[in-house]
Amino acid sequence: MTEPRTADRGLHFVLAAAILAVVHLLPTPAPLERGSELIALTVEGKTCLAILLFAVTLWITEAMPFPATSLLVLILLPAFGITDFASAVRAGFGSPLVVFFIGVLFLSTGFTISGLGTRMVLHVLRLAGTRTDRVLLGFITVGALLSMWVTDMAVAAVMLPLGVGVLKDAGLTPPNSNYGRALMISCAYGPLIGGIATPAGTAANLIALSYLEELAGVSISFGQWMLLGVPAALMMIPVCWWLLLRLFPPELERLPLEEAEIAAKLAALGPLEPVERKTLVIFALTITAWLVTPLLAGLTGGRVDPPVEAVALLGGLTLFLPTIRVMSWKEAQQNMDWGGVMLIVAGLSLGLAVFETGAARWLAQLLLGNLIFVPSLLRPFVIVIAVATLHLLFSSNTVTGSLIMPILLALAIDLGLDAWAIAAPAAFTSSLAFILVTESPTNVLPYSAGYFSIRDMAKAGIWMTLGAAVCVTVSITILGLFTG
């Protein structure tokens, strides 16, 4: 992946500015007719869509760094009179979601720095043996299980060097190895799959929860999310494994890697280091707190009800305590994706503006107004495919979640549909960037190893998206029927 040239970045910025100006100056379209009701796009809503298109163009083309574009949105919203500056900042920085994400980033960074991830993958190789199909399944499974609690990109960063090490030890070089293609793509797909299982898996999940509560008045607990997310993720693991083996048949049945070598690497690591034990305990306690918080609230009549955001931040900050000290602040600064925080801030501000100006409602009716005519059992499938298509344009899990959730919630409110049933498939798909390398940094890391091409991932990703749509539909419709 190469950086865009300066001249190209300049042209892309001019293009984005031109789109902003044209859409802003266009006359407002005629209202949409839905039964006896007219749904109009207001002047403010049209301008909000213009800013949205401007930001998305810059995000896709990378004419400006993602964080810089995100902060520019906070300037444009008040500059065009959509809202005042203080409100724009409060909508983004004032959201507890930002604190949650920072806490999760602390935990993810501690997990990587402590060496727990490396140790875990080596144990998986020891259990999986040297059969190539089993090693592939092991990589997908470990990536998915880790990503339930650690951000996708951090998990991909842990899996990548281990995957490359396995391939190099086997003498498989890029870009000529089918097994290399499958294993490296699995280093992206595993984390993407696991990211949908829990609210902590990815920032897009947190955005969905925030919008559900703020716009639809629906509060979804950690356990309620997992009730649908975990089965969907678990079903995707064998689907992904089967697809990668079919599309990229391994050229060898077993890796020329002795089990004694894996045992030697584990022996070289020795027993758990104190820093690893501390990180493991903090992770376990944080996850337990997330899961039991709703139970504690019920048992105590709401007297003990710590917000999940506070639990995440406390867990992350515990890593810095003097007697624990998993990492220094300098290490955290160097290893954390602070630009992701800026992206969340802009996404929340812009998404709320799109909703509050009525633009989300107008867009929802324009794009998905006929969803009510789709049988309820098939609605999740339709939503997954629609959001996956939009994801190709937005090139970011966070941006996709920020922009699509207000649109779908406006639609659910208008059509009298269950907000969680509509939001869940969209929230899950916001994290499932299977098709394009550029859709997510999680994909870029394994791609950088050179074992697969953009075309290879697109070929696998189209089929994987269809498989994911089926898995999400089964989870939501079948489990939804049993759980209400």
At 334 the three-state DSSP class reads helix
What the block records as the tokens of 370 is 């006929």
Tokens of 305: 């009800």
Question: Quick check: 1 pLDDT over 50?
Answer: no
Residue 191 phi, psi (nearest 5):
-60, -40
59 and 394 Cβ atoms separated by less than 8 Å: yes
CA dihedral 79, 81, 84, 85 (to 10 degrees): -20
Confidence (pLDDT) at 257? 66
Residue with tokens 């951000």: 151
Better pLDDT: 56 or 249? 249
For the segment 39-46, the average pLDDT, to the nearest whole number, is 88
- Average pLDDT along the chain: 82
Q: Where are the chain's structural domains?
A: 6-94+131-257+337-483
The pLDDT of residue 441 is 67
Cα end-to-end span (Å), the chain: 46
- Evaluated on CA atoms 66, 423, 85, 202, the torsion sign reads negative
Tell me what the mean pLDDT of segment 244-269 comes to.
Answer: 84
For residues 443-481, b (16+ Cβ closer than 10 Å) or e, as one string?
bebbbebebbeeebbebbbebbbbbbbbbbbbbbbeebe
Confidence of residue 2 (pLDDT cuts 50, 70, 90): very low
What is the identity of the amino acid at 450? G
* Higher-pLDDT residue of 445, 41: 41
CA angle 243, 246, 251 (to 5 degrees): 130
**pLDDT for 248:** 94
pLDDT at residue 393 is higher than 60: no
Q: Which helix (H) or strand (E) holds 146?
A: helix 132-147
Residue the block writes with tokens 């409602």 = 361
Contacts 24+ apart (CB under 8 A), 261-269: 261/169, 262/122, 262/125, 262/126, 263/126, 265/122, 266/119, 266/122, 266/123, 266/126, 269/115, 269/118, 269/119, 269/122
Nearest to 464, CA basis, from 197, 193, 120: 193
DSSP 254: B
Q: Which of 300, 356, 349, 401 is nearest to 85 (CA)?
A: 349
Lowest mean pLDDT among 2-11, 26-35, 58-67, 99-108: 2-11
> For residue range 99-126, what is the model confidence (pLDDT) as tens digits?
877 887 787 778 778 877 667 767 777 7
Rounded alpha-carbon distances, angstroms, from residue 299 to 223, 225, 303, 311, 483: 16, 20, 9, 18, 21
Predicted pLDDT of residue 406? 82
Can you give the pLDDT at residue 76?
Answer: 93
Share of the chain above pLDDT 90, in %: 23
- Name all contacts of 20-29 with Cβ < 8 Å and 24+ positions apart: 20/50, 20/51, 20/53, 20/54, 21/50, 22/50, 23/47, 23/49, 23/50, 23/53, 24/50, 24/80
What is the spatial distance between Cα 263 and Cα 258, in angstroms, rounded to a whole number?
9
